[in-house]
């Protein structure tokens, strides 16, 4: 079969996906993959095989997961994201498209099955910025408040404000050297947690909460089922509150669940 024919099959599969004819679409994809496997040893053939497989997996995770258990569905979705990511890593001309598809699938997975909350023996570890914000801590950043007695001029060594002999302005250049102030006798007064922090880049990026404390947010039935079947603790905040989780990147999605992306 010629490359053009395979392209035609894929185009038909896409068209069937649009028409929601998922079974027909699946057989078209499988037929294209089986043809591409014959040329997998060439560079282009291998690339086309990978990208078509990734597209197929993306399609499957979107349309063919009905009737599966939540955990099976999660595993399938995670595997699809991994494969899409790996395919994108081959740096073919579809790289950005595949990365966008992986990101899209991450969003869909969060909204469909939630995210696993990482646990160890004694604590749960929350690294999701959305969840952190929701528990309040994420609204705060840090402001360090300090006092100092002298602001020494880096050019002449005098106090830059109080000593009238100093004629330098901090931030200005003098003979190629920039003037800046050096605080002396500095004392940190306090560190404030505030919603309007002096340094906006500060804040909580991870929370570790004792398990017992965290489990009290869930019903007894949920906890019992979790221990009985060895299920992970799942955060469904975005599903419940209809939050758009676009800010969660593919890497962050795996990292915050303690899962390997590659």
Window of 76-84, 117-125, 201-209, 214-222 that interacts with other proteins by CB under 8 A: 201-209
Residue closer to other proteins (CB basis): 161 or 206: 161
Q: Residue 201 CB: number of other CB atoms within 10 A?
A: 7
Question: What DSSP state is assigned to residue 168?
Answer: -
Q: What gap in Å lies between CA 209 and CA 225, rounded to an integer?
A: 21
- Interface with other proteins includes 70 (CB under 8 A)? no
Q: What gap in Å lies between CA 143 and CA 191, rounded to an integer?
A: 6
- Backbone torsions φ then ψ of 154, nearest 5 degrees: -70, -15
Window of 55-63, 156-164, 206-214, 253-261 that interacts with other proteins by CB under 8 A: 156-164
Q: What gap in Å lies between CA 56 and CA 146, rounded to an integer?
A: 58
Which is nearest to 29 in space by CA: 44, 51, 4, 47?
Answer: 51
Residue closer to other proteins (CB basis): 81 or 153: 153
From the list 5, 37, 120, 149, which residue makes contact with other proteins (rule: CB under 8 A)? Answer: 149
Window of 46-54, 109-117, 119-127, 137-145 that interacts with other proteins by CB under 8 A: 137-145
Q: How many residues bind other proteins (CB under 8 A)?
A: 35
From the list 39, 181, 211, 239, which residue makes contact with other proteins (rule: CB under 8 A)? Answer: 181
- Interface with other proteins includes 174 (CB under 8 A)? no
From the list 74, 141, 214, 253, which residue makes contact with other proteins (rule: CB under 8 A)? Answer: 141
Q: Residue 145 CB: number of other CB atoms within 10 A?
A: 11
Q: What gap in Å lies between CA 100 and CA 106, rounded to an integer?
A: 10
Residues that bind other proteins (CB under 8 A): 133, 139, 141, 143-151, 160-162, 164, 167-171, 181, 183, 189, 192, 194-198, 200-203, 247
């Amino acid at each position: 079969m010629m490359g053009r024919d395979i392209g035609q099959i894929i185009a038909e599969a896409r068209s069937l996906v649009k028409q929601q004819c998922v079974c027909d679409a699946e057989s078209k994809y499988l037929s294209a993959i089986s043809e591409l496997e014959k040329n997998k040893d060439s560079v282009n053939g291998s690339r086309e095989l990978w990208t078509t497989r990734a597209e197929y997996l993306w399609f499957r995770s979107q349309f063919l997961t009905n009737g599966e258990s939540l955990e099976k569905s999660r595993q399938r979705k995670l595997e699809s994201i991994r494969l899409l990511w790996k395919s994108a890593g081959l740096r073919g001309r579809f790289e950005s498209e595949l990365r966008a598809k992986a990101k899209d699938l991450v969003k869909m997975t969060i909204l469909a099955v939630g995210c696993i909350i990482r646990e160890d023996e004694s604590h749960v570890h929350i690294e999701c910025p959305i969840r952190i914000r929701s528990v309040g801590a994420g609204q705060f950043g840090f402001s360090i408040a300090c006092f100092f007695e002298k602001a020494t001029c880096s050019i002449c060594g005098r106090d830059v404000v109080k000593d009238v002999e100093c004629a330098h302005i901090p931030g200005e250049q003098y003979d190629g050297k920039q003037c800046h102030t050096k605080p002396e006798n500095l004392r940190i007064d306090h560190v404030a947690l505030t919603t309007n922090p002096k340094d906006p880049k500060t804040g909580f990026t991870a929370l570790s909460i004792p398990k017992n404390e965290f489990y009290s947010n869930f019903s007894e039935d949920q906890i019992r089922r979790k221990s009985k079947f060895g299920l992970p603790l799942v955060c469904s905040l975005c599903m419940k509150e209809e939050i758009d989780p676009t800010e969660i990147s593919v890497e962050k999605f795996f990292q915050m669940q303690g899962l390997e992306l590659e």
